Amino acid sequence: MAKYSNKINKIRTFALSLIFIGFIVMYIGIYFRTSPVIMTIFMLLGLLFIIASTVVYFWIGMLSTKTIQVKCPSCGKPTKMLGRVDMCMHCREPLTLDPGLEGKQFDESYNHKRENK
């Protein structure tokens, strides 16, 4: 079985990785101090990664305000859901709001637009 996690946490992890990638790219640019053009390119590329991370954090923040907040039946803590199926942010319990999916095996493909049977 594949490891699943909450969609909001996946996107936040992606944004955090963009920050680290940006810092690493900028750090690589320091090794080219003798060539100001190459160093500047690496610094600007790292800055673009960090700006992209800021955009992703802003986007998921706006998306997070529109999500449905439910109480997890397993741990009792409130968690936010994106789509028809999602995982609890705290205990990774599969959650669904669709009565037709109750009792079915968890699969992220249920969130796609096409009809799943």
Longest dimension (CA), the chain: 64
SS3 assignment, position 79: strand
Give the span between the Cα atoms of 14 and 6, in whole angstroms. Answer: 13
Question: What would the mean pLDDT of 79-105 be, rounded to a whole number?
Answer: 73
pLDDT tens-digit profile of 44-77? 999 999 999 999 999 999 988 888 888 887 788 8
Q: Could you tell me the pLDDT band of residue 38, with boundaries at 50, 70 and 90? A: very high
Contact by Cβ (8 Å): 2, 106: no
pTM, 2 dp? 0.74
